[in-house]
Amino acid sequence: MAYKVGRYVLLAGALGCGWAALRWTEARSAGNPAALNSAAPALASARIPARPLGQPAVSDAQLPEVPLPAGCRAAPPALPAPPPPAALNGQLGLYVAVIDPQTLQPLRAVSSSPDSLFPLASTYKQAVLWALLRQVDAGTIDLNQKFSVTRQTQSLGAYPFDGSTAHQLAERMIQFSDNTATDLLHRTVGLQNVQNVADELQLCRTRLILPTKDWWTAQAGLSQTFDGTKLWASATGKPRAELAQRIDADAQQYRPDYLQRKLDEYFEQRYEVADDLRVHNFSTPYELATLVSHEFLRSGLTPRSQEIQRKLMALGCCKSGLTPIPLETWGGKGGNGWKILTFSGYFKTLGGEQVVYAFMLHGSGQTYTMRLTRPAFAWIRSALGEILLPGDGGKPVQATTPQP
C-alpha cells in the first residue's frame, strides 16, 4: 500500500512514540519529486469519471442567515494559565479543569483565551466516534458493517483496506488519525449527526460538520459551493447542513492525488492564516473541553458502547505527555496541520479527580507542528500543576519557615 504525504496531511503522533513522525519522515524521503512537481492535469481530468458536476453556486438569497440560538455556553471564570514555553508561538489557547463528575462543572480551572476560535484539525474525530456509537446503540449502524474505498471517498494520506469494518475504521481514525477512515464513518453517520454532538450541548462556537476531504477541497479553491456563497462562515442549522452537503459533493469529485497537488500550490503560493477558520471544523478551548467532559462522563451510550469508546480513545494521542501525573484512566486525541496543533483529553487521577484539558495553537511559526508536542504538553502539565492536589499531580506544598 503506497503511503503518499503532501505538505498538508493531518497526523496524530504520540509523545514518546514516534510512529506518526517516523512514517511522515519516511514518506517524504521516499516520495517522487518529479511526480509531485509535474504539471497538474486539466480540471476536467482531475474529476472522478462518470460523476456529475457539483451543484451550482449557492445564491445568498437561498440560505438566509440564522442567528445563534439562546443559551450558548461561555467559559466560567478561571485562573490565568501559566506562561507558555518559549517554543510555542502564534495564537494559543488552553483550558484545563478538575470537574465535578455529577454536574460536569469545573471545580478548579485555569485558562488562556478559552473563548477564542481555533481550527480543530484531527481532534474533531472523537466526535465522529461518539456519533457513530450513538447510532450503534440506536440500531442503525452495525460495527461489523464493511466498507470499500473509492476515489470519491478517499481522502489525503494513508487509507484503509477494502473490507474494513466500521470498528476497524474507528480504530484507525483514533489511533492513526486516518482521514479516509474518518470520512467513511462521518458520511455513514451523517454530516449533521456529527454536528449534533456539539449542537445538543449548546456549543455554539463549535463546528464539526465537514469531513476532512471537504476542508481541503474548499481551501484549495476547488469547491464551487464554498466559493459561491458568503454565508458559510456564519451559517447554522439547516442552511449550514445544506451547504455542507453541497461542499461534500464537490469534494467527492476530485481524485486525492490531484487535490493534494492543488493544496500544495495553495500553501506555497497564497496561504492566509484566516482561511483556516473559514474551511476547518473549529471550536474554542472551553467548548472542546466541555465536549470531552460529556463524551467521557455523560455520553448517553450503553455500557457496551461506552466501553468501546474508552478503549478506542485510549489509543489516541498523547498519554505519555502527562507523565508523571498518576493516571487511573485516560483518553485523548490530537491533531495537526499547516501551522495548527491541537490536543484534548480526559483522565482520572489515582486520587480520584476527574480532569479535562484542551490545548489549541493556530498560526504557528512552524509549518509541521508535531515538533511542538513536547512544549505543548509542558504547558498543559504546568497548568495542571496549578489545579491538581499535591501528591496527585499538583505542585508540592512548600514548607514555610516559621517567623520568630
Name, in order, each residue with C-beta under 8 angstroms of 296's C-beta and a sequence gap of 6 or more.
310, 313, 331, 346, 356
Residue 53 lies in a domain: no
Q: What is the mean pLDDT of residues 95-111?
A: 97
Using the predicted structure, report yes or no on whether residue 370 has a pLDDT greater than 70.
Answer: yes
- What's the pLDDT score for residue 396? 63
Instruction: List, for residues 336-345, the tens digit of each pLDDT value.
Output: 999 999 999 9
Distance of CA 298 to the CA centre of its chain: 20
Name, in order, each residue with C-beta under 8 angstroms of 400's C-beta and a sequence gap of 6 or more.
none
- What's the pLDDT score for residue 281? 97
Residue 111 lies in a domain: yes
Residue 400 lies in a domain: no
Nearest to 48 by CA among 261, 257, 289, 281: 257
Residue 178: give the domain boundaries: 19-41+79-387
Q: How many domains does the chain have?
A: 1
Q: What is the mean pLDDT of residues 73-78?
A: 91
Within a 13 Å sphere around the CA of 267, how many CA atoms are in the beta-carbon half?
18
CB 65 within 8 A of CB 234: yes
Q: Report the range out of 22-36, 64-78, 266-280 with the highest average pLDDT.
A: 266-280
What's the predicted TM-score (pTM) here? 0.85
Q: Which residue is associated with the grid cell 490536543? A: 343
Residue 63 lies in a domain: no
Separation of alpha carbons 36 and 53, rounded Å: 26
Residue 46 lies in a domain: no
Residue 186 lies in a domain: yes
What CATH number should be reported for the domain holding residue 306? 3.40.710.10
Instruction: List, for residues 174-187, the tens digit of each pLDDT value.
Output: 999 999 999 999 99
CB 283 within 8 A of CB 207: yes
Using the predicted structure, report yes or no on whether residue 399 has a pLDDT greater than 90.
Answer: no
Residue 56 lies in a domain: no
Using the predicted structure, report yes or no on whether residue 20 has a pLDDT greater than 60.
Answer: no
Residue 50 lies in a domain: no
More confident: 160 or 31: 160
